[in-house]
Amino acid sequence: MLRAKKFLSLLAFLVLAFQCVRSLNPSLNDDVLGLIVFKADLQDPLKKLSTWNQDDDTPCNWFGVQCNPRSNRVAELTLDGLSLSGRIGRGLLQLQFLHKLSLSRNNLTGSINPNLTRLENLRIIDLSENSLSGTIPDDFFKECAALRALSLAKNKFSGKIPGSLSSCASLASIDLSSNQFTGSLPAGIWGLNGLRVT
């Protein structure tokens, strides 16, 4: 019951945050909205994200952000080793053209968003060396056709590694080391050509 209340409170906050940001600047694109909502879930003691401002209609010059020069859409988000804490919120799901997400060597907590791999252009995910925990959702890897590299190393994940991992046909590298997983690797992953498991 308490978890349901926390979830509903978080959901209400995110909806309100989207509405507030939209009312401040109705022309904001999904990338700006997504990054501002993502930032709202974080503590940034080094103030590296101070350049992230909803009054700026393009995030391409924001710290840690790289855009595709042709489309001006966010293609890479690299925020490694910045002492960021908090949770990885739903804001990232707005970044439909994201190719690389790297948030390693921070103090991020909470569980992994089950919809993260549904970003159809996402090829690289590095969430290593944080304090992320919980199980990896069973359907986390169901829609991961573009995913080429995944590192969840040095976190606190537990439970079984989902069998849906074998759905990631393009996966070349995966590092799940230094967690608390139980059981064996899904048998289907050995059919993935070129996969390197650490």
Q: What is the CATH number of the domain that holds 74?
A: 3.80.10.10
pLDDT over 70, % of the chain = 85
Domain that holds residue 143: 29-197
Of 13-27, 34-48, 124-138, the least confident? 13-27
Sign of CA pseudo-dihedral 70, 71, 72, 75:
negative
Average pLDDT, the chain: 87
Reported as a single tens digit per residue, the pLDDT across 96-111 is 999 999 999 999 999 9
**Distance between CA atoms of residues 42 and 130, nearest Å:** 13
Question: Does the pLDDT of residue 13 top 50, yes or no?
Answer: yes
Question: Does the pLDDT of residue 10 top 70, yes or no?
Answer: no
pLDDT of residue 118: 87
Does 22 reside within a domain?
no
Does 176 reside within a domain?
yes
- Res. 26 pLDDT band, cuts 50 70 90: very low
- Check residues 134 and 17 and name the one with the higher pLDDT: 134
**Helix, strand or coil for residue 25?**
coil
pLDDT of residue 196: 73
For tokens 């709202």, the residue is 40
Sign of CA pseudo-dihedral 170, 176, 182, 183:
positive
Reported as a single tens digit per residue, the pLDDT across 44-66 is 999 999 999 988 888 999 999 99
What's the average model confidence in pLDDT over 76-99? 96
pLDDT of residue 198: 66
Does 7 reside within a domain?
no
Does 76 reside within a domain?
yes
Does 104 reside within a domain?
yes
Question: Does the pLDDT of residue 17 top 60, yes or no?
Answer: no
Reported as a single tens digit per residue, the pLDDT across 108-151 is 999 998 899 889 999 999 999 999 999 998 888 888 888 999 99
Q: Are 88 and 41 in contact (CB under 8 A)?
A: yes
Provide the pairing of β-strand 173-175 with 149-151.
parallel
List the one residue out of 133, 104, 113, 103 whose CA is nearest residue 14: 113
pTM assigned to the model: 0.83
Does 15 reside within a domain?
no
What is the number of structural domains in the chain? 1
Does 57 reside within a domain?
yes
